């Protein structure tokens, strides 16, 4: 157990004297009591007296918390420069110091009541304590305390047995028994395979999985970078010794997120979830198949007596807060698209926004990082589990391959944000490095959305959670529920390809060329992602199309441009220069009568080097159109026009390419 070190408290007294300005900003006791949730104190008081101590998460009244939080959360994504990194760190530090000071002030007031600090938080105004009845009574009266909530262990949203039909038993043509939606099928169903074809695979992005850890040696995670963390207080819920691999209650770095042994029910849940979000091996792939993973173990080991018959894993709310804070703290070092939480319990028919986890979810959302949370597998109508009931989360329900609501899904018309496939989803397990299993649950649906977010963020890096969510809602396939009599419009099942297409438009610039043009004509055009744009190169007279440059290569004509980014294309042409032509007239006396022969000679033009000249054409020019006299191989350098007569004649000679493009003519007049 971790007691408050009194030498730190004495040192902090200096900070107290130096912080008079902050103290002046603190609310009066009467004002604080007017905002305090006293009902929670009443509920916990009896438990504290019965058990001697109770675990609480204390809501601190931190001066200027809104302004300090806004200053911190405005830094989103990777730090663009060292200067930006310094600014972000300064803003984060200012927020942390304000929270730490208020927490120190509260601990000072609790002297003599032996509070135990389980966790301090850097970016949200909370502190996790284990307190006596006397300490709880003091907390109730302190102006720097807005309220408390009990720190409780949450269950996994565990997989459920296979279901043969949708919620309510609505008839379907092909149920999940006949055609189970394996991961490879569900990726196509949600449009991920189409997005991959556009180049959006999650490459360069991370998905964070707050779960039971990961078997990172599994083949499904081959080649991936996996960052690891652990926050596991253990079954006693006290800091210090815990269930992380180092024997403590927290750990980061290599090996921190290793899963527990198979003797604990749910031990490999995180491995299955991570595979759905970002696995990739052979012909099988998760939604963001090229994304990397941040695996955070937030579950502790509990005995059979705690779990109703067999050992299991449960997650303390304070450990979840620590995990969410870890993700927030590294937002400047990694491109993090979304956080996955397949955790939950309870039954909530309205938002649970007094939950301490909302502050952490809000911070991440402000930093453009979505927190996708499973609604739960109880089959509720009009209710979801916690923390999916947090209004700023993205609450995910489960649908079948036939686009009907899964029988086990917890449904709420407004608190459930989206549907995703969650019935019979095949993914990695912890049995071995090559083991897979098909599971059912909103836990399987949620990582579909987490992976989807990585594809969207790769396509639109700066998109806000709100705008991405609206795109998914506006483009998804609507699924109605038996819970409200299948009333329209329903809740959207994700279609990531359509969402990306709604969020971005790409610009195609066709540049102006010399000696030719294109169809469409050179200009700037706007297209949706995935559009395939045909462009035809049209050479001018005496010119030839050579190749494409810019965002396209090769010499295909027409060219098809796949719009998966802004692109610039230019058609390159060359002018086919005229050969140098000479001529002379000769009298041939070898026949019974004299014959005049016009000898037309030419030299190839050096300007045509690099052009595939295949032949030459010789024309005689009169009052009408030139008439073709001969077509000779490119190696030939003269043409003998017999029976030309004594009169002067005009000739043209033109080079011809292997594709049949004829160049400018070289002219000569041959006279007597």
For residue 229, which phi and psi values (nearest 5 degrees)?
Answer: -150, 160
Residue 334 structure tokens:
């990694």
Residue 361 structure tokens:
């979810």
Residue 610 structure tokens:
């690099």
Contact 140, 146 (CB under 8 A): no
Indicate the fold that domain 6-151 takes in CATH: Alpha-Beta Plaits (3.30.70)
Is the pLDDT confidence value at 34 over 70? no
- Percentage of the chain surpassing pLDDT 90? 83
Give 476 or 182, the one with higher predicted confidence: 476
Of 29-33, 106-110, 167-171, the least confident: 29-33
At 163, is the secondary structure helix, strand, or coil? Answer: coil
Contact 410, 385 (CB under 8 A): yes
Of 120-129, 164-173, 181-190, 340-349, the least confident: 164-173
Of 418-422, 623-627, 658-662, the least confident: 623-627
CA dihedral 191, 194, 196, 199 (to 10 degrees): -130
Cα 343 to Cα 71: distance, rounded to the nearest angstrom: 30
Of 12-26, 140-154, 640-654, the least confident: 12-26
- 54-60 and 145-150 beta bridge pairing: antiparallel
pLDDT at residue 170, rounded to an integer: 54
Give 326 or 21, the one with higher predicted confidence: 326
pLDDT at residue 167, rounded to an integer: 77
pLDDT at residue 171, rounded to an integer: 44
pLDDT grade, residue 234 (50/70/90)? Answer: very high
- For the chain, give me the number of helices (H) and strands (E)? 16, 37
Is the pLDDT confidence value at 448 over 90? yes
The whole-number average pLDDT for the span 414-436 is 96
Of 158-162, 236-240, 642-646, the least confident: 158-162
Is the pLDDT confidence value at 91 over 50? yes
- Encode pLDDT of 599-617 as tens digits: 999 999 999 999 999 999 9
Q: How far lies 322's CA from each of 100, 261, 594, in Å?
A: 15, 23, 109
Is the pLDDT confidence value at 293 over 50? yes
Cα 537 to Cα 546: distance, rounded to the nearest angstrom: 9
* pTM (predicted TM-score): 0.81
The whole-number average pLDDT for the span 237-244 is 91
Residue 349's nearest CA partner among 414, 277, 420 is 414
pLDDT at residue 24, rounded to an integer: 38
Residue partners of 135: CB distance under 8 A and separation at least 6: 110, 113, 114, 115, 129
Residue partners of 487: CB distance under 8 A and separation at least 6: 480
pLDDT grade, residue 239 (50/70/90)? Answer: confident
Q: Is the peptide bond before 475 cis (omega within 30 degrees of 0)?
A: no
Is the pLDDT confidence value at 513 over 90? yes
Residue partners of 402: CB distance under 8 A and separation at least 6: 166, 172, 173, 174, 175, 176
Contact 652, 619 (CB under 8 A): yes
What is the second-level CATH architecture of the domain 580-670? Answer: Sandwich (2.60)
DSSP string, 151-164: --EEEE---B---S
Residue 343 structure tokens:
């955790």
Residue 27 structure tokens:
């609310």
DSSP string, 325-381: HHHHHTTTTS-EEEEEE-EEEEEESS--TTSTHHHHHHHHHHTT-EEEEE--SS--B
The whole-number average pLDDT for the span 627-637 is 97
- 649-657 and 613-621 beta bridge pairing: antiparallel
Is the pLDDT confidence value at 283 over 70? yes
pLDDT grade, residue 178 (50/70/90)? Answer: very low
By the 10 Å C-beta count (0-12 exposed, 13-18 middle, 19+ buried), 185 is classed as middle
Query: Which residue's entry shows tokens 């319990």?
Result: 345
Q: What's the helix, strand, coil split of the chain in %, to 5?
A: 30, 30, 40
**CATH hierarchy code of domain 178-503:** 3.40.50.200
Cα 235 to Cα 309: distance, rounded to the nearest angstrom: 16
Is the pLDDT confidence value at 105 over 60? yes
The whole-number average pLDDT for the span 60-74 is 97
pLDDT grade, residue 5 (50/70/90)? Answer: very low
Cα 60 to Cα 628: distance, rounded to the nearest angstrom: 95
Return the beta strands (E) in 2-53 as ranges. Answer: none
pLDDT at residue 162, rounded to an integer: 62
Domain boundaries, the chain: 6-151, 178-503, 506-575, 580-670
pLDDT at residue 82, rounded to an integer: 95
Contact 426, 197 (CB under 8 A): no
- Encode pLDDT of 365-415 as tens digits: 999 999 999 999 999 999 999 999 999 999 999 999 899 999 999 999 999
Average pLDDT, the chain: 91
pLDDT grade, residue 460 (50/70/90)? Answer: very high
Is the pLDDT confidence value at 9 over 80? no
- Encode pLDDT of 127-149 as tens digits: 999 999 999 999 999 999 999 99
Is the pLDDT confidence value at 254 over 80? yes
pLDDT at residue 620, rounded to an integer: 96
Cα 645 to Cα 523: distance, rounded to the nearest angstrom: 55
pLDDT at residue 161, rounded to an integer: 77
pLDDT grade, residue 163 (50/70/90)? Answer: low
Is the pLDDT confidence value at 23 over 90? no
Contact 267, 200 (CB under 8 A): no
For residue 540, which phi and psi values (nearest 5 degrees)?
Answer: -75, 170
For residue 116, which phi and psi values (nearest 5 degrees)?
Answer: -110, 125
Residue 411's nearest CA partner among 449, 391, 373, 385 is 385
pLDDT grade, residue 10 (50/70/90)? Answer: very low
Residue partners of 147: CB distance under 8 A and separation at least 6: 36, 37, 40, 41, 58, 59, 354
DSSP annotation of 136 reads: H
């Amino acid at each position: 157990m971790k007691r408050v070190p009194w030498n730190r408290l004495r040192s902090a007294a200096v900070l107290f004297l130096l912080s008079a300005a902050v103290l002046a900003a603190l609310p009066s006791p009467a004002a604080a009591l007017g905002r305090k949730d006293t009902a929670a104190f009443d509920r916990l008081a009896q438990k504290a007296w019965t058990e001697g101590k109770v675990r609480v998460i204390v809501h601190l009244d931190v001066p200027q918390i809104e302004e300090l939080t806004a200053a911190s959360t405005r830094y989103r994504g990777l730090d663009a420069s060292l200067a930006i990194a310094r600014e972000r760190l300064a803003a984060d530090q200012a927020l942390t110091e304000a929270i730490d000071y208020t927490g120190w002030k509260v601990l000072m007031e609790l002297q003599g009541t032996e509070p135990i600090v389980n966790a301090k938080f850097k970016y949200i105004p909370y502190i996790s304590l284990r307190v006596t009845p006397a300490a709880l009574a003091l907390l109730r009266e302190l102006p720097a305390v807005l309220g408390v909530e009990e720190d409780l262990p949450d269950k996994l949203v565990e997989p459920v047995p296979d279901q043969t039909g949708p919620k309510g038993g609505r008839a379907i043509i092909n149920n999940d028994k006949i055609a189970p939606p394996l991961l490879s099928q569900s990726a196509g169903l949600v449009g991920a395979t189409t997005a991959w074809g556009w180049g959006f695979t999650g490459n360069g992005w991370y998905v964070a999985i707050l779960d039971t850890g990961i078997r990172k040696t599994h083949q499904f995670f081959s080649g991936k970078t996996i960052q690891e963390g652990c926050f596991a207080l253990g079954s006693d819920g006290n800091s210090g010794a815990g269930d992380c691999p180092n024997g403590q209650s927290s750990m980061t770095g290599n090996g921190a997120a290793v899963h527990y042994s198979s003797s604990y029910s749910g031990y490999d849940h995180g491995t299955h979830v991570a595979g759905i979000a970002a696995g990739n091996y052979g012909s099988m792939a998760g939604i963001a198949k090229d994304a990397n993973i941040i695996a955070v173990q937030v579950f502790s080991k509990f005995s059979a007596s705690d779990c109703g018959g067999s050992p299991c894993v449960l997650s303390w709310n304070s450990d979840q807060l620590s995990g969410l804070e870890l993700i927030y703290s590294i937002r400047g070092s990694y491109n993090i698209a979304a956080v996955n939480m397949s955790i939950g319990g309870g039954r909530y028919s309205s938002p649970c926004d007094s939950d301490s986890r909302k502050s952490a979810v809000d911070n991440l959302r402000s930093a453009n990082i979505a927190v996708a949370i499973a609604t739960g597998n109880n089959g509720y109508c009009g209710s979801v589990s916690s923390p999916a009931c947090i209004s700023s989360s993205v609450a995910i329900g489960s649908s079948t391959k036939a686009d009907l609501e899964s029988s086990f899904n917890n449904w709420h018309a407004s608190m459930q944000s989206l549907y995703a496939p969650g019935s019979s989803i095949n993914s990695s397990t912890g049995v071995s490095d090559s083991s897979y299993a098909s599971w059912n649950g909103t836990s399987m649906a949620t990582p579909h959305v987490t992976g989807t977010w990585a594809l969207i963020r790769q396509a639109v890096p700066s998109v806000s959670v709100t705008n991405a969510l609206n795109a998914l809602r506006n483009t998804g396939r609507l699924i109605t529920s038996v819970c409200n009599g299948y009333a329209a419009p329903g809740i959207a099942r994700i279609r990531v390809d359509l969402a990306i297409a709604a969020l971005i438009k790409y610009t195609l610039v066709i540049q102006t060329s010399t000696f030719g043009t294109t169809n469409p004509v050179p200009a700037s055009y706007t297209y949706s992602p995935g559009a395939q744009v045909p462009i035809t190169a049209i050479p001018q007279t005496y010119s030839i199309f050579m190749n494409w440059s810019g965002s396209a290569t090769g010499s295909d004509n027409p060219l098809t441009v796949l719009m998966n980014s802004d692109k610039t294309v230019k058609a390159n042409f060359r002018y086919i220069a005229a050969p140098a032509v000479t001529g002379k007239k000769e009298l041939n006396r070898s026949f019974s009568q004299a014959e005049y022969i016009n000898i037309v000679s030419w030299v190839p033009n050096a300007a045509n080097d690099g052009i595939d000249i295949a032949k030459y054409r010789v024309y005689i020019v009169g009052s009408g159109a030139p008439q073709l006299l001969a077509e000779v191989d490119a190696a030939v350098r003269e043409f003998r026009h017999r029976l030309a007569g004594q009169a002067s004649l005009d000739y043209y000679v033109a080079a011809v390419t292997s594709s049949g493009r004829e160049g400018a003519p070289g002219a000569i007049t041959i006279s007597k």
